[in-house]
Amino acid sequence: MIVLGIDTSCDDTSAAVVADGRSVLSNVVHSQVRSHRPHGGVVPELASREHVKNIMPVVREALAGADLGTGDLDGIAVTVGPGLVGSLLVGLYYAKGLSCVRGIPMAAVNHLEGHILSIFLEDELPAFPFVCLAVSGGHSSLYHVSGYGRYALLGQTLDDAAGEAFDKVAKILGLGYPGGRVIEEMAREGRKDKIHFPRAFLSKDSLDFSFSGLKTAVALYIKKWRESREEQATVSIADIAASFQESVIDVLVKKSIKAREITGAPSMVVAGGVACNNHLRNCMTEAFSPLGVQVYFSRPEYCTDNGAMIALAGYHRLLHGEHADLSVDVRSKFPIQALAPLEE
Ligand code: KG4
Ligand code: ZN
């Protein structure tokens, strides 16, 4: 089954063609970073206008990259939420138009489900069940995943997402947008134990996250640092970046270990844009290998937003006979829906 996947949930216009939910024939991502950078973050109105401009060329490029035409498509998978409403609408209405005109079945996909399943685009696959740590600019969640469409939420952020904390701290440090990669690069030169920023573990067994206190602590420290020559002489911006990164990763790793312990799942998957972070990858692998637990990561282009993960998630919905009709609408908040069992 050949599926076109479309994602316009935030600031990337993405389209991909995937065969049988496994084989990526093309994966095109048009980043809007250059348009949003002068504003220090994503401007929703600007994002939707950019999607309108880019959706047709991006889909055309994805089809050309797969050497296919719309007549070859067996399905269209499109993100309907969660995300920015104005952005989601562009992808959804484009998909509805194509589905209607060409008579191609359409699947409405949850963006986070796409991130969770993105590992299945790789060659080395985890067996079910596994625990998934999904960390992006909009989410920090732990799920117990027992099959396609079978997700039990174990914990989630009560305020900021991990990627959002990276972006905000980078902004305060004047390192630009988006912040994750630049903080990681800066942190390589810094000492991670120079400042002990707070770690919010919440209650003892809680699998929820909270990063807003950390963000405030970093902001207050930077204010003090800027006013003190003495502090600046002993602590560098790289030290601040490394200490902040360490604090986020410490919490992500320890909560993941707890989630694994509670569920007894034999493997662990890390997904979402923050999973690009090499220090997180190393810390997760180091923490889990003594437990005999393998940690799986996608390649970076499947960690950040992409159409291939949406095509994959949509493929499984279409396979189960789940077709979205033209009344489907976008959802800014959207819990992942379970997949109905296959009819015999
Ligand atoms: O999954 P994604 O592309 O979009 C959302 O669904 O939000 O994730 C984007 C987020 C941004 O917050 C970005 O700063 C973060 O992922 N990110 C990173 C790194 N690369 C991207 N965070 C930490 N380290 C990185 N290397
Ligand atoms: Zn995402």
CA of 112 from ligand 2 middle (Å) equals 7
| CA end-to-end distance (rounded Å), the chain | 20
C-beta 179 within 6 A of ligand 1: yes
DSSP 258: H
- Cβ(148) – ligand 1 distance below 6 Å: no
What pLDDT does residue 342 have? 63
For ligand 1, atom 19, the nearest C-alpha belongs to 180
pTM given for the model: 0.96
Question: Helices 179-187 and 162-172 meet at what angle, rounded to 10?
Answer: 70
> Between the CA of residue 72 and those of 103, 248, 323, what are the distances in Å?
12, 45, 18
Q: For residue 269, what are the β-bridge partners?
A: 132, 296
Cα-to-centroid distance, 230 and ligand 1 (Å): 33
Sheet holding 2-7, edge to edge: 23-31, 12-19, 2-7, 75-81, 106-110
CA 84 – CA 56 distance, rounded (Å): 19
Structural domains of the chain, with CATH? 2-116+303-319 (3.30.420.40), 125-297 (3.30.420.40)
Q: Block means of pLDDT (10 residues each) for the chain, length 344 residues?
A: 98 97 98 90 94 98 98 98 97 98 98 98 97 96 97 97 96 91 97 96 93 96 96 97 98 98 97 98 98 97 98 97 95 89 60
- b/e burial code for range 139-160 (CB count within 10 A of at least 16 → b): bbbbbbbeebbebeebbbbebb
| 184 pocket-lining for ligand 1 (C-beta < 6 Å) | yes
